[in-house]
Structure 1
Amino acid sequence: MGQQKTPKQFLRTVTIISTFGGLLFGYDTGVVNGALPYMALPDQLNLTPFTEGLVASGLLFGAAIGSFLGGRISDAKGRRKMLLMLAVIFFFATIGCTLSPTVEVMVCFRFLLGLAVGGASVTVPAYLAEMSPAENRGRMVTQNELMIVTGQLCAFVFNAIIGVSFGESAHVWRYMLVIASLPAVVLWFGMLAMPESPRWLVMNGKIGEALKVLKQARDEGRAIAELNEIQDNLAQETSIEKATLKDLTTPWVRRIVFIAMGIAICQQISGVNSIMYYGTQILQKAGFSTEAALIGNIANGVIAVSATFFGIWMMGRHGRRPLLMTGQIGTICALFLIGTFSNVLEGTTILPYVVLSLTVTFLFFQQGFLSPITWLMLSELFPMRLRGMGMGLTVLCLWITNFFVGLSFPVLMDAFGLSHTFFAFVGIGLFGLLFAYKFVPETRGRSLEQIEQDFRNHGKKKAETLTKASTSAE
């Protein structure tokens, strides 16, 4: 018999295995970046700008639905079973994409892949949060974000290696896609050996099993104490009436949802996924060859991973609003410079290197400021009663915005060129900056109860101010 793992070793194994869902999320969203130029060839899928957008964004539309349904299914079936089901979908949808004979078949399998991506985007963080001790929760859940950007980096690296080594092969894009089947197999076999979330077990009356899992992840005394705490928290939650869409008739509730949806939209309209999905085409338009663009795109993946570490460090030291606005200003400036230099330096040998350096700069501000703050603020804005309804609407809104950006970008670039397309994102980004300045509150250092009270009192304070003004005028 092997030596039993310590709680620390056990939690490390849980984190590594479950975040393969995040790795698949990242790889499947990033791999299309290098595969599209080869898919578009006449003897392959013969893509037009519109069908390029469909192939890239078909996954995103599926992810919108998958994220909306994923939480409900994992509540009913369990986090572990959900991840096992997602691993199967990841595997067969990947094989389907790899073998696709036509663009219609490709879009259908990309949609199925999106269902798994969306399901993973809500299930993996929930599983990690429920398995981890309170003091390690932030670090463990953040591992999933790191695995997502690591998955994208892996996609860019494998795209470059395969593109440079086998670029003369007509089916090179199929080799890029099929690699994602391997982590899907690891996720499935790995989750077979993982336990169910103790919180879900308690929710379903399986107290003995929950205690057994907690004893693997905690010292025995703490495991018993935490089991009692979970039972107490669940008892309190069942006494709380959950919010529904009818609650949007209440002004302060509507304001929270409006601000959360606005933050989610602003994170997407920055244009980040135009670079993550179409970075190779952008660099090709700037003047790189396909192989050089694939290699250059690795820099985007490296900075995305590095900036995520930086963003996590910054979040512990500075307020949410200034970091959010710094990210927006930085991304807007980078996009403006891409648009300007694409026009001024058009046709020169230096342009592709300038564009590459500016996409790297853009991703530093996006992944170091804008993206991590977005997810942190979404977790802080909603009080417990509103969290299910609010996060469901907000994440759905985020994926739908992502879908429209992914669908429209190649069409815009074909119709208006590189320069004018990025100027369009600059204009949209300015609206996002104005929204953040006018509506987004500071949440750092405030409890969920204090934040909720501020929203409840917002309308009252405004009414009191108007009353005082009218009284003084008389």
Structure 2
Amino acid sequence: METSEMTAERARSARAARTPRLALIVFIATLGGLLFGYDTGVISGALPFMTLSPSEGGLGLTPAQEGLVAASLVLGAAFGAFFGGRISDRRGRRRTISILAIVFFVGALACAFAPTMEFMVAARFLLGLAVGGASATVPVFLSELSPAARRGQLVSVNELMIVSGQLLAYTSNALIATFFPGESAWRWMLALASIPAVALWIGMIFVPESARWFMSKGRGAEARATLLRTRAADAVEPELAEMKANAERDATIGQGSFRDLRTPWIRRLVILGIAIAVLSQFTGVNSIMYFAPSVLIETGLSTQAALVATIANGVVSVIAVSFGIWMLHRGFGRRPIIIAGQAGLTTALILLGVFFLLPESTLRSYLVLGGMLMFLFFMQSCIGPIFWLLLAEIFPLRMRGFATGLAISFVWIANTVVSLLFPILIEAIAGYTFFLFALINIGTFVFYAASVPETKGRSLEKVEAEMEERFTGVVKTVA
């Protein structure tokens, strides 16, 4: 039963979440998510042009080199997530995002002007550092800025911006391929990412630092100033007191590092986060996001038709994430959403495998596209928003950047494995690849049902206390 204190906290959080200043801050910060989405999605349209010979304006990529170009970004993202998380703990969330905006800009232009496959791989790796850093830092930044009652929705805006970036990539790919199909088409596709990078860097000048990060550094006055910019006046002091008590308790333990993993409950919590991170990628989502045009071409569609059809993937992803945010707004818990989504996408993978094995025809191509859209709906409405949200919520303040970065680095390691293996698997076993992913995801469904915690409606300080209690059995109280 909800107490009067809980009701008052929920009311204060709801008022604070509606402040226009907070909405603007969320939009600016999530431009990092837009860049994340664009840079991961744009490669699907650029790869078919890169496979052309150098005399035709391409890079002459073989299937193995296609996988290497796609995987180089996600490998860089693994390093970017890990080091970005550590830098954000030490230097601040805001400063880290500003640095990442510069790396996004340089990386995008380096990719656009790449003269050889080797240069492209290096440029994509550099771009991956920014993508990984943003994937680790932006959700944490949003979770720390957000009131508890609206944290799920506001953090999930980052996922909406990710899929919006992917939709923007698919749409611009199709438009460029249609109206500017020359030898430089793929270069223009890659260069467009430099524009939102500039907008992100400029926007972050006007964004405050996380109040919780300030408090973790003993800078209470600056923490209060941030809360005054992002909360209703009567919500500031109660939240500040809770943050201060938690920071003081963490200060007696030390700053987050690998040494914290010696503590059994923290080690188990980090392992849980890594498992959630890895399994989110073994859904096979990026085999569809990166290689959808290649898969549709394999079923018999032309390159142009495949690029246009891929826009549907982006549209469905945006609709699906919007539906996921609506579910969080309506009060659905994290656990039921992610478990239901896992069941749905596993069913879609089985159907994809069946459709892929049908005789080649136009009907088969569009059935495969339909299977992709069904998969993406469940993935982007249920799995995507929730796994990013959980990773931003479950770790203690003193090591939130470090632990989130470590877990998200495994997102990108798993993503690298999928990106490298998927083109080879499709060539070797065709539609049976989707049955393999379905088998993995049946196991993931069981794991989620047994292990995913519920964090809805709790402050980050209360979540931290509950995670410690869960793994130690010792009841903790939060001021």
If the TM-score is normalised by the length of the shorter chain, which range does it land in?
Answer: 0.7 to 0.9
Call closer, same or farther: CA 1:194–1:324 in 2, change over 3 Å: closer
CA distance in 2, matches of 1:452, 1:198: 23
Shift, 1:245, TM fit: 4.8
| 2:305 is the counterpart of 1:292 | yes
The one-letter code sitting in structure 2 at the alignment partner of 1:54 is L
Shift, 1:202, TM fit: 4.6
Equivalent position to 1:9, from 3, 17, 20: 20
User: 1:257-296, CA deviations, whole angstroms, 9 ceiling, x for partnerless residues?
Assistant: 4443332222111100101111111111112111111111
| TM-score scaled by length of structure 1 | 0.85
Equivalent position to 1:31, from 37, 42, 46: 42
Which residue is equivalent to 1:331? 345
Which residue is equivalent to 2:451? 440
User: 1:301-326, CA deviations, whole angstroms, 9 ceiling, x for partnerless residues?
Assistant: 11111111222333555554443333
Which residue is equivalent to 2:170? 156
For the 8 Å contact 1:380–1:443, the answer to whether it is kept is: no
Any gaps of 5 or more consecutive residues in structure 1?
Answer: 1-5, 459-474
The one-letter code sitting in structure 2 at the alignment partner of 1:236 is R
The one-letter code sitting in structure 2 at the alignment partner of 1:431 is G
For the 8 Å contact 1:383–1:452, the answer to whether it is kept is: no
The one-letter code sitting in structure 1 at the alignment partner of 2:415 is N
Which residue is equivalent to 1:468? none
Which residue is equivalent to 2:130? 116
Shift, 1:93, TM fit: 0.7
Equivalent position to 2:469, from 449, 453, 457: 453
Call closer, same or farther: CA 1:251–1:191 in 2, change over 3 Å: closer
The one-letter code sitting in structure 1 at the alignment partner of 2:443 is F
Call closer, same or farther: CA 1:357–1:255 in 2, change over 3 Å: same
CA distance in 2, matches of 1:380, 1:74: 16
SS class of match (2:19):
helix
Call closer, same or farther: CA 1:368–1:89 in 2, change over 3 Å: same
SS class of match (1:261):
helix
Call closer, same or farther: CA 1:209–1:250 in 2, change over 3 Å: closer
CA distance in 1, matches of 2:455, 2:351: 32
Call closer, same or farther: CA 1:234–1:456 in 2, change over 3 Å: closer
Shift, 1:26, TM fit: 0.7
For the 8 Å contact 2:71–2:420, the answer to whether it is kept is: yes
Alpha-carbon RMSD across the aligned residues, in angstroms, is: 2.9
For the 8 Å contact 2:103–2:126, the answer to whether it is kept is: yes
Call closer, same or farther: CA 1:172–1:453 in 2, change over 3 Å: same
User: 1:305-350, CA deviations, whole angstroms, 9 ceiling, x for partnerless residues?
Assistant: 1111222333555554443333223222212222212212x22121
| 2:114 is the counterpart of 1:103 | no
Shift, 1:253, TM fit: 5.1
Call closer, same or farther: CA 1:379–1:186 in 2, change over 3 Å: closer
Range 260-269 or range 143-152, more displaced: 260-269
Which residue is equivalent to 1:190? 203
CA distance in 1, matches of 2:473, 2:221: 44
| 2:423 is the counterpart of 1:410 | yes
CA distance in 2, matches of 1:262, 1:170: 43
Call closer, same or farther: CA 1:423–1:214 in 2, change over 3 Å: closer
SS class of match (2:362):
coil
Equivalent position to 1:85, from 77, 85, 99: 99
Shift, 1:387, TM fit: 5.1
CA distance in 2, matches of 1:376, 1:9: 22
SS class of match (1:350):
helix
Aligned length: 449
For the 8 Å contact 2:136–2:408, the answer to whether it is kept is: no
Which residue is equivalent to 1:427? 439
For the 8 Å contact 2:39–2:193, the answer to whether it is kept is: yes
Within a 5 Å distance, the mapping from 1:70-469 to structure 2 comes to: 70-167=84-181, 169-204=182-217, 209-218=222-231, 223=236, 227=240, 229-241=242-254, 245=258, 254-315=267-328, 317-318=331-332, 320-344=334-358, 346-379=359-392, 381-382=394-395, 390-417=403-430, 419-437=431-449, 439-441=450-452, 443=454, 448=463, 449-457=465-473
For the 8 Å contact 1:7–1:216, the answer to whether it is kept is: no
User: 1:420-464, CA deviations, whole angstroms, 9 ceiling, x for partnerless residues?
Assistant: 222222232233234335x42553668634454343359xxxxxx
For the 8 Å contact 1:338–1:422, the answer to whether it is kept is: yes
Call closer, same or farther: CA 1:380–1:227 in 2, change over 3 Å: closer
CA distance in 2, matches of 1:451, 1:15: 27
Which residue is equivalent to 1:42? 53
User: 1:57-93, CA deviations, whole angstroms, 9 ceiling, x for partnerless residues?
Assistant: 1111111111111122123223222222111111111
CA distance in 2, matches of 1:324, 1:10: 31
For the 8 Å contact 2:80–2:409, the answer to whether it is kept is: no
SS class of match (2:207):
coil
Which residue is equivalent to 2:12? none
For the 8 Å contact 2:86–2:402, the answer to whether it is kept is: no
The one-letter code sitting in structure 1 at the alignment partner of 2:447 is F
Call closer, same or farther: CA 1:212–1:441 in 2, change over 3 Å: closer
Call closer, same or farther: CA 1:199–1:324 in 2, change over 3 Å: closer
CA distance in 2, matches of 1:197, 1:162: 39
For the 8 Å contact 1:269–1:425, the answer to whether it is kept is: yes
CA distance in 1, matches of 2:420, 2:347: 24
For the 8 Å contact 2:45–2:174, the answer to whether it is kept is: yes
SS class of match (1:189):
helix
* Bigger CA radius of gyration: 1
CA distance in 1, matches of 2:404, 2:227: 28
Range 369-378 or range 92-101, more displaced: 369-378
The one-letter code sitting in structure 1 at the alignment partner of 2:159 is E
CA distance in 2, matches of 1:450, 1:213: 26
The one-letter code sitting in structure 2 at the alignment partner of 1:16 is F
CA distance in 1, matches of 2:284, 2:369: 15
Report percent identity of matched pairs: 46
